[in-house]
A and B are shown apart, each in its own frame.
Chain A
Amino acid sequence: MATSTTIWEKLGFRKASGVTEAGWGQTLLAGLVSLIYFLPVLLIIITSFKVQNEAMSVPPKFFPTSFFGLIPDVYVFSPTLENFTSVFSRAFVTGGAVESTGFDRFFFNSMFIAGSSVLLALVIGTLAAYGFSRYPLKGNDTYLFIILTTRMLPAIVVIIPIILMFRIAGLSGSYPGIILLYTAFNLPFTIWMMKSFFDELSLDVEDAARIDGSSELRVFFKICLPQVVAGLAATFVFGLILTWNEFLFALLLTGIDTRTVPVAMNQAVAGGGIGVLWGLLAAIETLFLIPVFLVTFFLQNHLLRGVTFGTVKR
């Protein structure tokens, strides 16, 4: 069999053996594009290992080692973990005593508040979505639309009435307050997502379970829920990312004890007379990335199935 190799194939843009697999040229191109997108995050991670003057240096120092002299010294920084320790405790005044910054508390707050509100929204939202999907009300779509309208205004518009309501209800600065707020904030999204997952399920399977003697509760828990695990995972992760990064409500509605990391970060980096402490900021951000990164990483198989759900029929 005579095979003619085109210039594109030589460059690895198409595998001669099959059309469904990417050649190394394509892979490289995709890698480059990804790198461009990932660059800001990468810079933050690198910066978190630099001391202040190296963080500010021009040209920027990209490499933690010179790779045996391959890279000119001007691009090389000496990595340090100092920023990470000062996230949790540092001297606030030069030469002063080392004090705790309270960031351990803020990280706990972020995890606790985001985790519990997203889980709460998931429980309520999944039940509601099942109801909307299986036992539609008269004017079902109107209800769903109304639920979505609560997210149609920018947060800044609704914040004032919410602050007033929280003051009156005594929820300002408390865990239940911010958790309930984030739950409400996540619910529309959760209901819409989960409803679409339930809509995709085969009704025959549920009918079969009924005929086999299952009650409605058992149909939901044993038959429907296991089929939408991917959807639950996807909804959980998206909700978590949104809540994890939320700043405005957290700024205005959390107290000192319930402060979340995004708010604390903002307040921590304004470093007196010496400007923004870039290394410290980058270290907080790097630590802040880890929990969401881990959750996403462990749920990624489900996530992929979740976001592609319904594209393959039966």
Chain B
Amino acid sequence: MSTIEVKKITKKYGEFLAVKDASLSVKAGEVVCLLGPSGCGKTTTLRMIAGLERATEGDVIIAGKRMNDLPPEKRDIAMVFQFYALYPALNVGQNIAMPLHFEKLSKDESDKRVNKVAKILHLTEVLDRMPGQVSEGEKQRIAVARAIVRDPNCFLFDEPLSRLDVELRHSMRGQIKEVLSNLSKATVIVTHDQLEALTMADRIAIMRDGMIEQVGTPHEVFAKPANVFVASFIGTPQMNLMEADLKSFNKGMASVSLAGSAVEMAADPAVSTLKPSKVMIGIRPRAFTAESSAGKSTIRAQAELIEPMGAETLVHARTKLGGDIRVVVPRTQRVKIGEVLHLKPDPKQTHFFGENGRAVRA
């Protein structure tokens, strides 16, 4: 079975803790994205799975076998590198055939396999060229072809699309997703691009400072962020995170002092466990509706900066307390600079975070 299991893996470089107690399991046919800002340890985690780095503590289990002490060539995995890592001295065909070398295939069989993947990835025409003579997009596809030419235990991708321009990235995302869905192998993709993660992954593991903060489906991490970091990291434009005073909670309604306005809003029943105190409230920019007049559950803010984004318009508005709220309004709704907005948050898309930064949810 093609599975990957990482159990409480830790990596130390001297005193520096690169990865701490990260656990993750990937089922056969599942694509898991490791997502996080640069330097959060996601590539280190991937390299430990690949065997290119030794785990200081913890276990790496691939296809049900503990692989901690095996070198990469014994782990039967395929990996696509960020800078493609094509062999400069071999031509494209030889590059793709390289992983087949140890399968002791006949020349015919090996050629057949190379031609097959070349066809899938539209590389047939460049098979005789050297890596230095192909375009960036082709290099990327060669790297993918080299990974899928064999039938490994699992696939690892290290920032596979980061070097492509926007359009190529878009089309490659689709192509890789399609290729992967036909292979049904456990796959780990490292990326810092949340759009890449949200579109390609079955599940996303969000990392920060060497720790996995949350693992969930793209829908889960977006709709139910586990903590303030995940909430702020996922979603563009960024979620509004505001400090608020929780005054009381009564029959599902919380009254808070939010951005200088007294607001009543429906809240998760778990909020009742919070004592009246400082809380963090997160509201996505698209979860506001601009009301025509002030109400019990509106926040008053003044439009300061308008950024048209095409279909929608991003409005930066200043609250009474001087904080900044990002609001996305439909293109048709004209907002002028200086206009006073009465913003009503959608209670279903409003998140309460306790003092420890964790989401308060039933």
A interface residues, Cβ below 8 angstroms from B: 202, 204-205, 207-215, 222-223, 226-227, 229, 314
Contact = CB atoms under 8 A, between A and B. Distances in A.
B233 interface: no
B83 A211 contact: no
B30 to A, nearest CB: 20
B88 A212 contact: no
A212 B142 CA distance: 14
A314 B84 CA distance: 11
A214 B101 CA distance: 9
A219 B85 CA distance: 13
A254 B305 CA distance: 86
Contact of A207 (B85, B98, B101): B85
Residue among B47, B71, B72 with the highest chain A CB neighbour number at 10 A? B72
Contact of A213 (B50, B73, B88): B73
A211 B77 CA distance: 7
Given A205-B87, A223-B87, A213 B101 contact: yes
A208 B88 contact: no
Contacts of A202: 83, 85
B81 interface: yes
A205 B72 contact: no
Interface in B322-360: none
Tell which of B71, B75, B81, B85 has the most Cβ of chain A within 10 Å.
Answer: B85
In this complex, the member of B79, B84, B87, B90 whose beta carbon has the largest number of chain A beta carbons within 10 angstroms is B87
B89 A207 contact: no
Contacts of B146: 208, 212
A213 B102 contact: yes
Contacts of A205: 85-88
Among A212, A213, A223, the most chain B Cβ lie within 10 Å of the Cβ of A212
Nearest to A226: B89
B85 A213 contact: no
B117 to A, nearest CB: 14
17 contacts: A202-B83, A202-B85, A204-B85, A205-B86, A205-B87, A208-B87, A208-B146, A210-B52, A211-B51, A211-B52, A211-B73, A211-B75, A212-B78, A213-B99, A214-B102, A223-B89, A226-B88
A312 to B, nearest CB: 11
Interface in B13-47: 47
A39 B88 CA distance: 42
A190 to B, nearest CB: 21
Contacts, number: 65
B69 to A, nearest CB: 15
A209 B83 contact: no
Given A223-B87, A226-B89, A227-B89, A212 B98 contact: yes
Contacts of A211: 50-52, 72-73, 75, 77-79
Contacts of A208: 79, 81, 85-87, 146
Contacts of A213: 73, 99, 101-102
Given A207-B47, A210-B72, 17 more contacts: A202-B83, A205-B86, A207-B79, A208-B86, A210-B51, A210-B71, A211-B51, A211-B72, A211-B79, A213-B73, A213-B102, A214-B73, A226-B88, A226-B90, A227-B89, A229-B89, A314-B83
A74 B72 CA distance: 77
Shortest 7 CB-CB distances between A and B: which pairs? A226-B89, A204-B85, A208-B85, A212-B99, A213-B102, A210-B72, A205-B85
B122 to A, nearest CB: 21
Highest count of chain B CB atoms <10 Å: which of A205, A215, A226: A205
A215 B71 CA distance: 9
Nearest to B77: A211
B82 interface: yes
Nearest to B52: A207
A226 B101 CA distance: 18
Nearest to B152: A211
Contacts of A209: 87, 98
Nearest to A214: B73
A180 to B, nearest CB: 32
Contacts of B47: 207
Contacts of B90: 226
Interface in B82-114: 82-90, 98-99, 101-102
Nearest to B97: A212
A106 to B, nearest CB: 39
Contacts of B85: 202, 204-205, 207-208
Contacts of B72: 207, 210-211
Contacts of A223: 87, 89
A250 B98 CA distance: 48
